[in-house]
Amino acid sequence: MNNRIYITGTSQISIQEPLCEQWMDSPISYDVKYTRAIDPNFKEFVSPIEARRMGLLLKRAVATSYTVMKESGISQPDAIITGTGLGCIENTELFLNALCFEGENMLKPTYFMQSTHNTIGSLLAIRTKSHGYNVTYAHKGISFDSALYDAYLQMRLNKISNALVGSHDEMTPSYFKLLQKVGYVGGDMEGVCGEVSMAAMLENDSSKALCTLHSMRVLYRPSLQKLEKAVEQVLQEAGITMDDVDGVITGINGNRKNDEEYSRYTEELFPVTAKLRYKHLFGECYSSSSLAFYSAVQCLRHERIPLGMVYGNVQLKDRKPEYLLIFNQQEEKNFSIILLGKQI
């Protein structure tokens, strides 16, 4: 379990400018509760003939994945591991609506083909001719973390030497309405619901490394003691203490219940470490935790943390960031702790 894991490429399509890091200097701000992602020109990645049978989410996944494959120089990854909370929900809705309103006899085959969660990973495998390990995790807000953990374990065990890990989710108007009905968004919630497509390349080879994935844990309904122990272990594996960590990236999103949960845990676990947020920039959806990972990689790569990410009373250290810890939790059930470092 001694293989080191490096990140050699990350890319995003979200409600910020796509496939670039413009958000670090001039982020787009929203005063609406719901918006769709800003799409790049897909013609650079997909021919019109191919595009006609691809939903928006598939095109986004191809664009982000091919961007990181180009950046890392890996055209056929050993593994393609995907996280998605809702899969290709837009096509699923079209298929189910047709089923409800027109019966079973006149269903369009294309919508049906695209209405499964693992369509994304399959498409990437077909296009890259990668016949290796290909798994999709559909675990709501912990989908990306689960996919990353799979890649992390397999690389540590020397089963694979690189992995294309991604997380992709759409937010359709009808799903947004459902979230509003259950009070998760809307009302007095600050912040926006968005869409995410994020891809990252993980490698054992350090020659093109942007930063290092030192350690991580995924936990289900842990006690506070177990969380403390997990944080301790993650830091120990990197040979550092909490004093060395420049910031903890959390998933506060303007929802009162969610933010109170984060506040409770972070005050207990990381009382004297600067807190960083990212969902005010990228919005909320089941794949948004992948953008915590993406943001951490970019902050370490560019050796700076945008001040707009900092919240709370603890100031940033007066230095270039060296270690960032991502703390993600969903309704106090699923937790993940991910430690990234500049040190190669």
In the complex, minimum distance from the CB of residue 245 to another protein, in angstroms, rounded to a whole number:
47
Site string for another protein, 85-104 (x = CB under 8 A): -----------------x--
The stretch among 48-56, 116-124, 141-149, 181-189 that binds another protein (CB under 8 A) is: 48-56
The stretch among 49-57, 128-136, 148-156, 214-222 that binds another protein (CB under 8 A) is: 49-57
Containing 128, the helix (H) or strand (E) segment is helix 119-128
48 binds another protein (CB under 8 A): yes
For residue 225, what are the CA distances in angstroms to 147, 230, 245, 259? Answer: 25, 9, 20, 21
Looking at the Cβ atoms of 6 and 42, the one nearer to another protein is 42
For residue 241, what are the CA distances in angstroms to 201, 223, 318, 339? Answer: 27, 21, 18, 11
Looking at the Cβ atoms of 108 and 264, the one nearer to another protein is 108
Dihedral of alpha carbons 148, 297, 292, 82, sign: negative
Looking at the Cβ atoms of 92 and 334, the one nearer to another protein is 92
Whether the Cβ atoms of residue 48 and residue 62 lie closer than 8 Å to each other: no
49 binds another protein (CB under 8 A): yes
Indicate the DSSP class of residue 22: G
Burial of residue 340, with CB atoms counted within 10 A of its CB: 0-12 exposed, 13-18 middle, 19 or more buried: buried
In the complex, minimum distance from the CB of residue 109 to another protein, in angstroms, rounded to a whole number:
5
In the complex, minimum distance from the CB of residue 127 to another protein, in angstroms, rounded to a whole number:
17
Indicate the DSSP class of residue 34: B
In the complex, minimum distance from the CB of residue 55 to another protein, in angstroms, rounded to a whole number:
10
Q: Are strands 323-330 and 310-311 parallel, antiparallel or unpaired?
A: unpaired
Whether the Cβ atoms of residue 332 and residue 261 lie closer than 8 Å to each other: yes
Whether the Cβ atoms of residue 45 and residue 232 lie closer than 8 Å to each other: no
CA 284-260-29 angle, 5° bins: 35
Looking at the Cβ atoms of 25 and 104, the one nearer to another protein is 104
In the complex, minimum distance from the CB of residue 183 to another protein, in angstroms, rounded to a whole number:
36
- Among positions 96-155, residues that touch another protein (CB under 8 A) are 102, 105-110, 113
In the complex, minimum distance from the CB of residue 53 to another protein, in angstroms, rounded to a whole number:
7
Looking at the Cβ atoms of 70 and 108, the one nearer to another protein is 108
320 binds another protein (CB under 8 A): no
- Bridge partners of 276, per DSSP, are 249, 310
d(CA 287, CA 196): 6
> Which member of 41, 52, 207, 319 binds another protein (CB under 8 A)?
52
> Which member of 22, 28, 53, 333 binds another protein (CB under 8 A)?
53
Q: Provide the token pair at 179.
A: 């979230």
Looking at the Cβ atoms of 32 and 106, the one nearer to another protein is 106
Looking at the Cβ atoms of 57 and 189, the one nearer to another protein is 57
The single residue listed with the structure tokens 């540590």 is 156
The stretch among 47-55, 60-68, 155-163, 171-179 that binds another protein (CB under 8 A) is: 47-55
The stretch among 44-52, 230-238, 253-261, 336-344 that binds another protein (CB under 8 A) is: 44-52
Dihedral of alpha carbons 119, 124, 127, 129, sign: negative
Looking at the Cβ atoms of 52 and 319, the one nearer to another protein is 52
CA 314-188-36 angle, 5° bins: 90
The answer for residues whose C-beta is within 8 angstroms of residue 25's C-beta and 6 or more apart is 306
- Binding residues for another protein, rule: CB under 8 A, are 48-49, 51-53, 102, 105-110, 113
